[in-house]
């Protein structure tokens, strides 16, 4: 069977293509933006790529998989419909061809899906289970975002975004998860959801698909998750919480910090200490992600102590507080910040790690929701843990960030030029600084530009 994927260079669709190739299908695809790293990753496994969306790309194709970025009016989509060509969505194809007869471990939530999915996949790998997985990022323990693996276990990042132009359900309802993590729930994706209630409703639809013999893993004291489960729940629930700074969120699973940055913490299950996680990661949010992953792994037979040992070797995910380098004494990080809560938790975790050192946050509010200005009132307070903030706002932005600047609890500036940001940081950064670049996109190649600007061979004067 020859499968052609529309929008193949997206993170989800590119990962889907790799799994289809591993299943033995002939795979090709087209996209408007065929460029590295996804293009090179796909070409390296023998997947043919085509630039643009042209009807002639469908020659010899048996099935078209339509990415959710495709819409009516696209020439390939119109040709497909007019000629009654067979098509499906990415999530539906995954369910029908890759997840059939699998024990699906699905990780859902507004934040932490990629990191938690990567932790869970690594734990199962460490335990010798050789899981399949599809993750919305590159897990550094695997250096790929997807693989078919060995049945029955398959870990999937379960996104609430809509499925396709012809299927407006959230992606995650297709996956039929048996072990499901509901990490958290906040308002996001304002381009497709009218309000928080609409998102809760989709999460409720997910809960409806989970077997009674499955397991839901959920956080303590998350009102939005509690509201969702109150709509109806037919599956056992295990709750995870935390004990930090004399504040407890009790649960069956409890994390108790041994270092203020959560780089070491006890794992407690039903009042018994089962071990201590000692790893290179920081932040209460990552501790919670780990608790959820440990609980999910236990549901498929991995002892908590073995999961704890695995997490000690967890390398993290590319673009999730990924350390890009230390140049002239300046540490530079890349983080996939898509929401004010994600910005806040990342910066707070770094602050606990570095103490009083200067933290310079460079932020591009790039997600559809932030570009619409929906979270404008939350952006300024989200940066309180930084020493200073540089906001990037292109000249064609749909809303003015001046109010964010006015409300900022720390010194902040707005720039409309990436080159100016790079030159400014290159001039002002000094040894001992921590620079965090935060965006869910490529940010105009700012990462390498800044590293080049800071390089001792090019940097004239470090203040």
Percentage, residues of the chain above pLDDT 90: 56
> 365: domain CATH number?
3.90.190.20
Residues 264 and 338 in one domain: no
Q: What is the helix, strand, coil percentage profile of the chain, to 5?
A: 35, 25, 40
The answer to whether residue 463 sits within a structural domain is: no
Residues 349 and 262 in one domain: no
pLDDT of the residue at 457: 42
Closest by alpha carbon to 227, among 247, 262, 205, 201?
Answer: 201
386, with CB counted inside 10 A (0-12, 13-18, 19+), is: buried
pLDDT of the residue at 445: 84
Of 259, 282, 311, which one is at a domain's C-terminal end?
Answer: 311
Q: What is the pLDDT of residues 48-81, one digit of tens each?
A: 899 999 999 999 999 999 999 899 999 999 999 9
Instruction: Annotate 335-344 with b (16+ C-beta within 10 A) or e (fewer).
Output: bbbbbbbbbb
Helix (H) or strand (E) holding 217: strand 215-219
Residue span of the structural domain in which 143 resides: 99-311
Residues 113 and 161 in one domain: yes
CA-only gyration radius of the chain, Å:
22
Q: What is the pLDDT of residues 276-330, one digit of tens each?
A: 999 988 888 899 999 999 999 999 999 999 999 999 999 988 777 888 888 989 9
pLDDT of the residue at 90: 96
Q: In the chain, how many domains are there? A: 3
28-32, 50-54, 183-187, 248-252: least confident range:
248-252
Residues 126 and 256 in one domain: yes
CA distances from 373 to 394, 398, 437 (A): 14, 8, 20
Lookup: tokens for 380:
């300024």
Section 205-217 average pLDDT = 97
pLDDT of the residue at 458: 45
pLDDT of the residue at 244: 54
pLDDT: which is higher, 267 or 350: 267
Of 258, 277, 311, which one is at a domain's C-terminal end?
Answer: 311
d(CA 349, CA 153): 32
Q: What is the pLDDT of residues 115-156, one digit of tens each?
A: 999 999 999 999 999 999 999 888 889 988 899 999 899 999
Helix (H) or strand (E) holding 182: strand 179-182
pLDDT of the residue at 371: 57
pLDDT of the residue at 463: 32
The DSSP output letter for 317 is: B
Residues 264 and 197 in one domain: yes
pLDDT at position 462 over 70:
no
The answer to whether residue 459 sits within a structural domain is: no
The answer to whether residue 460 sits within a structural domain is: no
pLDDT of the residue at 55: 93
pLDDT of the residue at 26: 95
Residues 152 and 229 in one domain: yes
Of 311, 346, 375, which one is at a domain's C-terminal end?
Answer: 311
Question: Average pLDDT over the chain, rounded to whole?
Answer: 88
The answer to whether residue 11 sits within a structural domain is: yes
Closest by alpha carbon to 269, among 224, 307, 223?
Answer: 307
Q: What is the pLDDT of residues 242-272, one digit of tens each?
A: 765 555 556 789 999 998 888 999 999 998 9
């Amino acid at each position: 069977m020859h499968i052609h994927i529309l929008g193949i260079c997206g993170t989800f669709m590119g990962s889907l293509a790799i799994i289809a190739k591993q299943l033995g299908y002939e795979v090709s695809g087209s996209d408007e933006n065929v460029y590295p790293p996804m293009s090179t990753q796909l070409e390296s496994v023998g997947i043919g790529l085509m630039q643009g969306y042209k009807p002639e790309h469908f020659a010899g194709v048996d099935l078209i998989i339509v990415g959710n970025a495709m819409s009516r009016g696209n020439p390939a989509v119109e040709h497909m419909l007019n000629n009654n060509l067979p098509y499906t969505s990415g999530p539906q194809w995954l369910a029908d061809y890759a997840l059939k007869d699998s024990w699906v471990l699905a990780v859902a939530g507004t934040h932490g899906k990629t990191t938690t999915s990567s932790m869970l996949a690594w734990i199962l790998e460490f335990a010798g289970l050789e899981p399949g997985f599809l993750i919305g990022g590159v897990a550094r323990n695997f250096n790929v975002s997807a693989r078919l693996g060995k049945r029955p276990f398959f870990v999937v990042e379960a996104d609430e975004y809509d499925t396709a132009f012809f299927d407006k359900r959230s992606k995650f309802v297709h996956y039929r998860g048996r072990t499901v993590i509901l990490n958290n729930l906040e308002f996001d994706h304002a381009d497709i959801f009218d309000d928080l209630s609409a998102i809760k409703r989709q999460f409720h639809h997910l809960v409806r698909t989970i077997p009674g013999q499955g397991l839901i893993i959920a956080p303590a004291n998350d009102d939005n998750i509690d509201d969702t489960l109150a709509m109806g729940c037919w599956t056992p629930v295990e709750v995870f919480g935390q004990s930090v700074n004399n504040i407890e969120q009790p649960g069956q699973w409890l994390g108790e910090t041994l270092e203020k940055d959560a780089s070491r913490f006890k794992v407690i299950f039903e009042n018994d200490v089962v071990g201590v996680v000692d790893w290179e990661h920081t932040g209460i949010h990552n501790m919670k992600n780990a608790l959820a992953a440990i609980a999910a792994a236990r549901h498929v037979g991995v002892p908590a102590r073995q999961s704890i040992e695995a997490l000690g070797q967890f390398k993290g995910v590319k673009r999730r507080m990924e350390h890009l380098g230390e140049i002239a004494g300046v540490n530079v990080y890349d983080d996939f910040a898509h929401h004010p809560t994600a910005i806040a938790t990342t910066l707070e975790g770094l602050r606990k790690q570095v103490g009083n050192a200067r933290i310079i946050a460079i932020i591009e509010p790039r997600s559809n929701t932030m570009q619409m200005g929906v979270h404008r009132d939350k952006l300024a307070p989200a940066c309180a843990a930084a020493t200073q903030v540089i906001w990037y706002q292109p000249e064609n932005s749909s809303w003015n960030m001046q109010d964010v600047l006015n409300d900022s609890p720390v010194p902040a500036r707005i720039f409309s030029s990436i080159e100016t940001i790079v030159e400014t940081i290159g001039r002002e950064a000094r040894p001992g600084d921590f620079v965090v670049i935060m965006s869910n996109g490529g940010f105009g190649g700012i990462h390498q530009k800044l590293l080049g600007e800071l390089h001792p061979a090019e940097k004239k004067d470090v203040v």
